[in-house]
Amino acid sequence: MFRTSVESIDNGQREAATASGFTKIQTFIYIILPQALRHILPVYKGEFISLIKMTSIVGYIAVQDLTKASDIIRSRTFDAFFPLLMVAVLYLLIAGLFTWALGFIEVSVDPKRKRKNRKEEGMR
């Protein structure tokens, strides 16, 4: 996914950076990477949140995570509903927190959305 994003940047950007005297590393860091991040962040955001959600499924297989800890509490207290409810709330909070954080990063990388947010804040 990352490679596709980097390759989607027009070759004219690379040529302009070379003509401006940038090295290959400087071209990548200052020209290509910021443009590629605008394309790739929404995709990685979805993949990362899916990964967090899938850890609850993996917990039933063998991994020690929130779901497995809930099973341990349930076997000791014989209370089936409350531990699972708390695990669901924790997963919701974790996924929501990461969604918010990655959305914030997404806006900070995209200059068009950054300008739009500044205009909206100015109108308030």
pLDDT digit string, tens, across residues 80-119: 788 878 877 887 888 888 889 888 888 887 777 666 666 6
- Domain borders along the chain are 2-123
CATH architecture of residue range(s) 2-123: Orthogonal Bundle (1.10)
pLDDT value of residue 120 = 66
pLDDT class of 20 with cuts at 50, 70, 90 = very high
Structural contact between residues 13 and 39, judged by C-beta atoms closer than 8 angstroms: no
